[in-house]
Amino acid sequence: MPNSATPAFDLTAGRSDTLGAEFLGEGTNFALFSDNATRVELCLFDETGGQELARLDLPEMEGGVWFGYLPGIRPGQVYGYRVHGPHAPEQGHRFNPSKLLLDPYARELRGQIHWDDALHGYVIGQDDQSLDTRDSAPFMPKGVVVDAAFDWDSDRALRHHWTQTVIYEAHVKGLTRLHPDVPAQDRGTFRGLASDAMIDHLHRLGVTTLELLPVHAFANDRYLVEKGLANYWGYSTLSFFAPHAPYLQSGRIREVKQTVRRLHAAGIEVVLDVVYNHTCEGNELGPTLSFRGIDNASYYLLSPEDPRHSFDTTGTGNTLNVAHPMVLRLVMDSLRYWVQAMHVDGFRFDLASTLGREAQGFERDGSFFNAIRQDPVLSGVKLIAEPWDVGEGGYQVGGYRWPFREWNDQFRDDVRAFWRRDPGQLPALAERLAGSPVQFDHSHRPASSSVNFLAAHDGFTLMDTVSFNEKHNQANGEENRDGHDHNLSDNLGAEGATDDPAIQAARLRRIRAMLATLLLSQGVPMILAGDEIGHSQQGNNNAYCQDNQISWIDWARGGGDIHGALAALIRFRQETGLAQARFLTAEAKPRATWLHPEGREMAQTDWDDAELRCLAMLVEWDQSRILVLINAGEDAQFALPQGEWRLCIDTSADEISCNRPVRGSIALPWQTVMALRR
């Protein structure tokens, strides 16, 4: 393939210290880690990625890093790799130079995966130890050399304090795909996120932080594509640096930077949901797209008994070997890139327990967590763990060290159970209102360690929690077997949508009470995008493959009753300073006192009363006092502490925000939360 126009490496300028394709002004340095390779070929393509123009052996290798500097290679150059080495699946080695491989450090991609049997390193239909020699390049996306220059116009990290943080979990496409006020060409893209309509909406709610489902380039799994479905959520990472191309209206990474800059100017942080625990290549029967062909035995955990097989703690087929120093470096480089080059404000780590797995199992002081804690760049951004995986000992809620915060599914479950009127839920509810100290009040962790939520992308939406008793996942094509059955939901009299005004009113009343519980609790509240307008997924609690109206937010619903209530609750939380950095205790300030409807402190017999569904939390600090009254039972009369109080929040009222003086006692209707100040 080489010809007279083939570029030649400058052997005096190559660098092994920076991985990926780095444009240096007059040319580009290429570097790839593969400890077990015997030869690495750099493949250059035309601008479409359709024609391979040249193959050049990377001329140097140090410490497993293959590298070389090519003069004249500028931004826009499309490229990939072919890696030579032993084909010995029984030893964990699956090198196959017939397969074009994506650079793990590629910043931008050209093209997409076109599923074909040639993408597999073995012959489909035969043993996985066979060797498929067909060229996979026609079916592969390629990397693109980029110019990192961008005018950030004094943009900087916002660093909203955790006690003032309100998170809004959203999907880049689903958030704006159906929004009538977002320009049509921008709907479903990064540009749509930063549109005037979306920023105005987030401002009206009072959201401080936008948490995005995966935006790293990901694969639409073959089995889904063949069923006419898609990997909508994006938890199937192909590249840890390049954004998912379909989310780019312009096709260029500048769009991500422009979006972050505009959101920052509006005071809104951007947090990314990231997947460093596995990749889209699956187990040994999966395709060879990148890591498997570059160095399978280094990048993935393999079975210690039989390295031919993957070691899976994620339920996806493979597990990234973060304990390997160069794989750890890959993850750290990716995180720093998104902070330093793309200006994001933090990360939510999918299946974070996998990242802490060492030889003896999960280690809260594992190499990954310690690397982040000491990193001067990463230790200062928002870090949120999904504190579980599917492996043994993987459920670790409360098991992480500062500065990590954690998704708290126990908050979701206990609050749902309480408002469903399950018996004996008062002790659990009090624990959640106080910030879950049993889980998080240790190791000098703050009261903001718990990320509280009622609904997230995985599971029922908030509206579906009060509209369905059972999951309805038939659209996923798995005969409703997928998705969990522990929904703690209650349809309040009809399964799904109904025209019954009494049921509709009861559902809205419960939603408002549940949202009040969320916003009046210690910890960090997270809202699922669309819950503020009553978005329903028609009872689908596992809509990972539904890239359609099931998942896209239908803004025509309006949802004024919920939206206004949520905005008022956020405003009350922020203005009163209810969220505290220190855990509430009965002895010191901030102090929490639990009150019975009779006005006295709760006794043990009260906590043991399985049918009691009404209590109050009195929070005191400095000169401030806030009283939160909660009633999931029948109408009640609540005796107030002495003095004049002002009723500020009443979820049973048409307008929940109020300012009414009260003293002595107050009527507390069924399914109601009230907040009072003094």
Q: Are strands 405-408 and 450-453 parallel, antiparallel or unpaired?
A: parallel
Phi, psi dihedrals of residue 611, rounded to the nearest 5°: -95, -5
Q: Tokens in use for 64?
A: 């497993």
Number of H helices, E strands in the chain: 16, 29
Nearest to 358 by CA among 350, 349, 348, 368: 368
Side chain identity at residue 159, one-letter code: R
Residue 343 and residue 300 in contact, taking contact as beta carbons nearer than 8 Å: no
CA distances from 19 to 37, 426, 440 (A): 16, 54, 38
**What is the Cα–Cα distance from 409 to 456, expressed in whole angstroms?**
10
Task: For 34-94, list the strands marked E by DSSP.
Answer: 39-45, 52-57, 60-62, 65-71, 78-84, 87-88, 93-94
**What is the Cα–Cα distance from 35 to 33, expressed in whole angstroms?**
6
Contacts of 127 (CB under 8 A, 6+ apart): none
Tell me the sheet residues that pair with 88: 93
For the question of residue 57 being annotated catalytic, the response is no
Residue 309 and residue 315 in contact, taking contact as beta carbons nearer than 8 Å: no
Point out the catalytic residue in the list 211, 350, 409, 490: 350
CA distances from 81 to 85, 95, 99, 240, 479 (A): 13, 12, 8, 17, 41
Point out the catalytic residue in the list 52, 386, 547, 606: 386
Q: Tokens in use for 176?
A: 């704006």
Contacts of 288 (CB under 8 A, 6+ apart): 94, 96, 99, 101, 119, 120, 121, 136, 281
Question: How many Å separate Cα 107 from the centre of its chain?
Answer: 20
**What is the Cα–Cα distance from 81 to 103, expressed in whole angstroms?**
7
For the question of residue 413 being annotated catalytic, the response is no
Residue 355 and residue 324 in contact, taking contact as beta carbons nearer than 8 Å: no
DSSP H or E segment with residue 372: helix 367-374
Tell me the sheet residues that pair with 333: none
Beta carbons within 10 angstroms of residue 160's beta carbon: 16
Q: Tokens in use for 628?
A: 């939160």
**What is the Cα–Cα distance from 82 to 103, expressed in whole angstroms?**
10
**What is the Cα–Cα distance from 302 to 283, expressed in whole angstroms?**
10
Q: Tokens in use for 501?
A: 């005004």
**Torsional class of 86: left (φ above 0), alpha (ψ -120 to 50), beta (otherwise):** beta
Q: Which residues are catalytic?
A: 350, 386
